[in-house]
Amino acid sequence: MAVKPIEWLGNRIKILDQTRLPLEEVYLETHDYLEVCTAIKQLVVRGAPSIGVAGGYAIALGALKIKSEFNNIFIKEYQVVSRTVAATRPTARNLFFAVERMDKVAGTAGTVEEIKQALVDEAVKIHNEEAEATEKLSDYGAELIEDGFTVLTHCNAGPLATTGYGTALGVIIRAKEQGKNVSVYADETRPLLQGARLTTWELQQAGVPVTLITDSMAGYMMSQGRIDCVITGADRITANGDTANKIGTYTLAVLAKEHNIPFYIAAPFSTIDTSLKTGDDIPIEERNPEEITHFQGVQTAPDNTSVENPAFDVTPHRYITAIITERGIIREPFHEGIKRWK
């Protein structure tokens, strides 16, 4: 991939600031795990798999800075680091997946220096595995895309979101590489316009024709017969297949059902959380009202307007045609496929 959203430079991390794209390519380079936490909160780095990768590196950076050589002191300070990273965002499963893996490594035997090195190695491993997973799932998913298909996608689930090949966009780009004629409608994805800013940019770089629409136009495009399938990424998938993803995804799923259009989720297994039975258990992040009352810093609503700003919604599994993973394509009954391959 031409663009690296996250790069590990041995003792520090380099993060592409996704809030400044597509007009500016600005990088944050830091040794400070708290700066990485802020970057996650402010969506400098975003997309469930990328959040997980950044979270792993943040913990490694925090651990490297711990001065004590005594294991008992190290582990106490490590826990502060780990909990701080885990508290950055509540919905993406991949973050907790990374935190759990790092915590396990932190608890192994060895000197503090050895554990620090093992933590760095584990963060790099998480990064590599996430990237490889998206390559594999793109291969599986591309089989679902027929020549001539127009795909609708929401938010951004490309290389920026995944540090790898992309999930929803990975599937589309792989289909294009297979010689299929494929084009995309990209929802702009209010409030933060990841579709307008990032999905258009990534698909243009990949040579996939993309047309930008507002979120409110998806139903109209389906009613005109212009959409052959919907593919989105995911932030968390529960044991029964219910899927949390960017707010607006559920609406697309309902629209797809009404128009008899397949609705696909593309996500690595690190997004699947079998500790939760159904989507009702997924915590939904409520973000700053100013994301809605202001647009790129310009106020658009009257002062003191009441706002709700859930960042995600949950699509019940009955609306999902298939979940595309690096281990294969899962269909109803989802709980069986998830259990079999987990």
Tell me if residue 187 is catalytic. Answer: no
* Chain centre to alpha carbon of residue 28: 19
Cβ at position 166, least distance to a second copy in Å: 17
Q: How far apart are CA 134 and CA 145, in angstroms?
A: 16
Q: How far apart are CA 34 and CA 217, in angstroms?
A: 39
Cβ at position 106, least distance to a second copy in Å: 37
Q: Write out the residues near a second copy by the rule CB under 8 A.
A: 22-23, 187-191, 193, 196-197, 200-201, 204, 209-221, 223, 247-248, 250-251, 254-255, 257-258, 292-293, 295-302, 305-310, 313-314
Give the residue with the Cβ less far from a second copy, 117 or 278: 278
Give the residue with the Cβ less far from a second copy, 12 or 257: 257
Cβ at position 245, least distance to a second copy in Å: 11
Q: How far apart are CA 60 and CA 8, in angstroms?
A: 11
Enter the tokens of residue 204: 């243009």
Give the residue with the Cβ less far from a second copy, 163 or 293: 293
Give the residue with the Cβ less far from a second copy, 270 or 315: 315
CA distances from 201 to 87, 110, 152, 155, 159 (A): 30, 46, 15, 12, 11
Give the residue with the Cβ less far from a second copy, 16 or 54: 16
Strands 298-299 and 263-266: unpaired
Cβ at position 124, least distance to a second copy in Å: 32
CB 48 within 8 A of CB 58: no
Give which of 294, 279, 288 is closest to 309, Cα–Cα.
288
Sign of the Cα pseudo-torsion (275, 280, 281, 287, in order) = positive
Give the residue with the Cβ less far from a second copy, 122 or 215: 215
Peptide bond into 191 cis (omega under 30): yes
* DSSP H helical ranges for 65-211: 71-86, 93-106, 112-142, 159-162, 168-177, 194, 200-205
Cβ at position 161, least distance to a second copy in Å: 17
Give the residue with the Cβ less far from a second copy, 78 or 263: 263
Cβ at position 305, least distance to a second copy in Å: 5
Give which of 158, 198, 152, 195 is closest to 174, Cα–Cα.
158
Give which of 94, 178, 100 is closest to 140, Cα–Cα.
178
Q: How far apart are CA 58 and CA 54, in angstroms?
A: 6
Q: Exactly one of 103, 187, 215, 235 is catalytic; which is it?
A: 235
Cβ at position 76, least distance to a second copy in Å: 40
Q: How far apart are CA 54 and CA 87, in angstroms?
A: 13
Positions marked active-site: 235
